[in-house]
Amino acid sequence: MGLSPGSMTIRYASDGDAHVLARLAALDSSRVPAGALLVAEVDGELWAAVAIGRGAAIADPFRPSGPIVELLRSRARQLVGDPPHRRRRLPALDRAPQAVASMFSRT
């Protein structure tokens, strides 16, 4: 798997993901965040996970997962219904969807 993934799925983590999440956390020199998680699978491989409501993340440091983490955080905020007046607009978040989309372009 290179820098041009074929497909990405964002979903809730399940109990069956525990082993893969532990491995991902070890790669990231971190711990699996507590609570409900959103995960991103790229071509069937787990690249990143974000805690819903807290934003704590783990990601594969050997993959271009930064934009995917930002996309997961954005989706997590939508799920918890963060009021617009409380959201902080960061320049990186404006570019996250485009950065993820460019990873999937087949040029």
| pLDDT tens-digit series, residues 7-22 | 999 999 999 999 999 9
| Structural domain count of the chain | 1
Distances (CA, A) of 39 to 22, 25, 53, 54, 101: 13, 12, 14, 14, 17
95 inside domain: yes
The one-letter amino acid at 45:
E
43 inside domain: yes
15 inside domain: yes
Evaluate the CA torsion angle 7, 8, 12, 18 in order and state its sign.
positive
pLDDT band for 32, please (50, 70, 90 cuts).
very high
- For the stretch 48-91, pLDDT in tens is 999 998 889 999 999 999 999 999 999 999 988 865 555 555 55
1 inside domain: no
Residue whose C-alpha is closest to residue 55's, from 102, 87, 18: 87
Distances (CA, A) of 36 to 23, 24, 63, 69, 76: 18, 16, 23, 15, 10
Domain hosting residue 24, numbered range: 8-104
3 inside domain: no
13 inside domain: yes
